[in-house]
């Protein structure tokens, strides 16, 4: 018999706090994390390296099918590897996020990445972080959470995160980029960003990370008990 795999899907727009929530849940439940956004980011990164236009669906699909991507744990942090190169810092900026959201509109590209994402679901469980985890990739997930926050608050958080790293960022241009990416993610025809019908929609705009985790854990416990 296959061991039972518990999937907790955490969807929502960029900057709502999904990453931190997923880390806390992963520690609490001992489940691995799937950072599905990193997969789209690496695909866009690889495409730019190979001079493949970000709207060339045919070439991008072949690239997605053959993408040699892996996650490696280094000193308690996760490094994203493309072939054998650590591309973590190259994919973690606004431009890479925007490029990722361009390749992510293409249905065949999404289809090519579907099984790769599902393969991450192994016992005892998985925390799946993304845009369509609860709607498309893991529609049978035991728990679905949609973490939202206003675009202004997400821009403020991003600016302070960058400041902590010594990077001075302009609030208005960050807000513009967030709005542009949100629009593309929410309005694409395939797997648009939206809460699953059975998701807990949690608005973190005025909540601390502790409050978000507490609310999420209460919901998870009630779902797992039923
Ligand atoms: O979560 P992250 O900001 O890393 O995602 C980058 C982009 O990848 C998103 O803006 C979205 O367009 C795309 N994405 C997606 N489906 C997912 C995860 C990310 O379309 N499950």
The phi and psi torsions of 49 (rounded to 5 degrees) equal -65, -35
Global pTM value = 0.96
Q: Model confidence at 167, in pLDDT bands (50, 70, 90)? A: confident
Q: What is the pLDDT of residue 221?
A: 97
**CB-CB contact of 122 with 32 (8 Å):** yes
The phi and psi torsions of 133 (rounded to 5 degrees) equal -65, -45
Q: Over the stretch 201-218, which tens digit does the pLDDT of each residue have?
A: 999 999 999 999 999 999
Find the 36 Cα to ligand 1 centroid distance in Å. Answer: 7
Which residue has the least CA distance to atom 19 on ligand 1? 37
Q: Over the stretch 49-70, which tens digit does the pLDDT of each residue have?
A: 999 999 999 999 999 999 999 9
Q: How far apart are CA 47 and CA 64, in angstroms?
A: 9
Report helix, strand or coil for 69: strand
CB of 37 within 6 A of ligand 1: the answer is yes
Average pLDDT in the chain: 95
The percent of residues in the chain predicted with pLDDT above 90, rounded, is 89
Percent helix, strand and coil across the chain, each rounded to 5? 50, 20, 30
Mean pLDDT of the 85-110 span: 94
């Amino acid at each position: 018999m296959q061991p039972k795999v518990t999937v907790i899907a955490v969807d929502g727009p960029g900057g709502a706090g999904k990453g931190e929530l997923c880390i806390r849940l992963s520690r609490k439940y001992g489940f691995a994390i799937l950072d599905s956004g990193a997969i789209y980011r690496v695909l866009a990164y690889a495409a730019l390296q190979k001079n493949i236009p970000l709207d060339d669906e045919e070439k991008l699909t072949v690239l997605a099918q053959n993408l040699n991507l892996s996650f490696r744990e280094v000193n308690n942090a996760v490094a994203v590897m493309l072939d054998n190169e650590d591309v973590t810092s190259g994919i973690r900026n606004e431009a890479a996020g925007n490029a990722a959201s361009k390749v992510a509109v293409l249905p065949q590209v999404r289809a090519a990445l579907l099984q790769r994402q599902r393969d991450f679901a192994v016992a005892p469980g998985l925390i799946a972080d993304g845009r369509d985890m609860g709607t498309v990739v893991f529609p049978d997930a035991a728990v679905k959470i949609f973490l939202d926050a206003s675009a202004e608050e997400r821009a403020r958080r991003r600016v302070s995160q960058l400041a902590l790293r010594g990077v001075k960022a302009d609030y208005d241009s960050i807000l513009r980029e967030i709005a542009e990416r949100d629009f593309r993610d929410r309005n694409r025809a395939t797997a648009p960003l939206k809460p699953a019908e059975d998701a807990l929609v949690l608005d973190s705009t005025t909540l601390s990370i502790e409050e978000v985790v507490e609310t999420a854990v209460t919901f998870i416990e009630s779902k797992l008990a039923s």
